[in-house]
């Protein structure tokens, strides 16, 4: 994503200064100070070396995840999410989508208290989820909560709109209602149906990328003439509602006179694996590479095994 920001001439948004704390509903479990060593001591005093084990676990996952950029730089793509995950971390990554982050962390020696106090607070504030969220999604989120992430000045949406403008794509301002499959001279041809301000319309394409969720009650998207038929995907999304209130936090409730001290935490497909800008960017490039490789019949660049060894050899 940093490469996109440089290409588009965007700027990093400045961080808002402040301290963090974890509130249990009755008292502060942990408060950040201005002194780094004191913060480390407090973490050790409350949770032992759980925070180190957490960091080691996240770094191990992220080190393997970062392989995707090397694979994509060499033009490799994957036809399914499972193949992509398996190429990065083998069966371990695939299994991480089927077990909870709490289970995985407890297995590597993180204490239950640390999971309940810290991990639960981070997941609740970012995903609106509990520690039962899948381990892979939890690892992506925890990696992004350790201070190394950043946002774009003016909003991350500028990355999408900037890239769209850069490609000089022909944009049709309409809502897609469905896709029907046809045949032309022995090859597949896709008719995209849409509704716009000027009424209904359609257009034919050699390739179609569907970016809307196909889970029940998420879209009125239809597929015609596909065999076997394309059914709704299993599972359901959890709606999250954010209320933005203009005002100041009543810091006296927490015993603080200065409201500028909390970052308060409350302790109480690719989106399907982990929801983040980076995961969306990775998935988008994977689709682009997959489409390119299939179009030009470069099948050796799809679902390759042992890519780490192969890429080293190419280098």
227-248 mean pLDDT: 76
Question: pLDDT above 70 covers what percent of the chain?
Answer: 84
Asked if residue 153 lies in contact with residue 13, where contact means CB atoms within 8 angstroms, the answer is yes
Q: How are beta strands 28-31 and 21-23 bridged, if at all?
A: antiparallel
DSSP state of 208: -
∠ CA(153), CA(158), CA(163), 5° rounding? Answer: 135
83-100 mean pLDDT: 93
* Angle subtended by helix axes 135-144 and 120-127, to nearest 10: 90
- Between 92 and 256, the higher pLDDT residue: 92
Cβ contacts of residue 238 below 8 Å, gap of 6+? 128, 129
Q: What pLDDT digit, counting tens, does each position of 278-297 carry?
A: 777 788 888 888 888 877 77
Q: What pLDDT digit, counting tens, does each position of 101-116 carry?
A: 999 999 999 999 999 9
Return d(Cα 138, Cα 101) in angstroms, integer.
Answer: 6
**pLDDT exceeds cutoff 60 at 1:** no
Average pLDDT, the chain: 81
296-314 mean pLDDT: 77
Q: What pLDDT digit, counting tens, does each position of 244-272 carry?
A: 777 666 767 766 655 443 633 332 366 66
Lowest-confidence region among 176-180, 193-197, 212-216, 256-260: 256-260
């Amino acid at each position: 994503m940093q490469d996109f920001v440089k290409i588009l001439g965007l700027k990093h948004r400045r961080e808002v200064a402040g301290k963090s704390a974890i509130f249990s509903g009755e008292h502060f479990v942990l408060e950040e100070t201005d002194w780094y060593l004191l913060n480390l001591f407090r973490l050790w005093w409350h949770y032992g070396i759980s925070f180190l084990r957490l960091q080691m676990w996240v770094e191990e996952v992220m080190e393997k995840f970062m392989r995707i950029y090397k694979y994509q730089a060499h033009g490799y793509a994957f036809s399914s999410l499972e193949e992509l995950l398996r190429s990065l971390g083998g069966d371990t990554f695939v299994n991480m989508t089927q077990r909870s982050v709490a289970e995985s962390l407890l297995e590597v020696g993180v204490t239950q208290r640390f999971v309940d106090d810290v991990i639960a607070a981070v997941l609740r504030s970012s995903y609106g989820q509990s520690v039962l969220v899948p381990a892979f999604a939890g690892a992506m989120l925890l990696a992004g909560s350790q201070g190394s992430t950043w946002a774009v000045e003016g909003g991350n949406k500028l990355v999408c709109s900037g890239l769209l403008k850069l490609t000089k794509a022909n944009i049709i301002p309409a809502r897609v209602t469905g896709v029907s499959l046809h045949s032309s001279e022995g090859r597949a041809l896709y008719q995209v149906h849409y509704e716009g301000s000027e009424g209904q319309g359609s257009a034919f394409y050699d390739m179609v990328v569907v970016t809307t969720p196909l889970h029940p009650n998420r879209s009125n998207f239809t597929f015609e003439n596909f065999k076997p038929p394309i059914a709704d995907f299993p599972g359901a999304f959890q709606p999250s509602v954010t209320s933005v209130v203009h005002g100041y936090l009543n810091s006296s409730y927490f015993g603080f006179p200065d409201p500028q001290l909390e970052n308060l935490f409350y302790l109480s497909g690719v989106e399907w694996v982990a929801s983040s800008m980076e995961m969306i960017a990775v998935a988008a490039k994977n689709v682009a590479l997959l489409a390119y490789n299939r179009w030009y019949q470069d099948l050796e660049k799809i679902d390759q095994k042992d890519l780490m060894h192969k890429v080293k050899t190419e280098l």
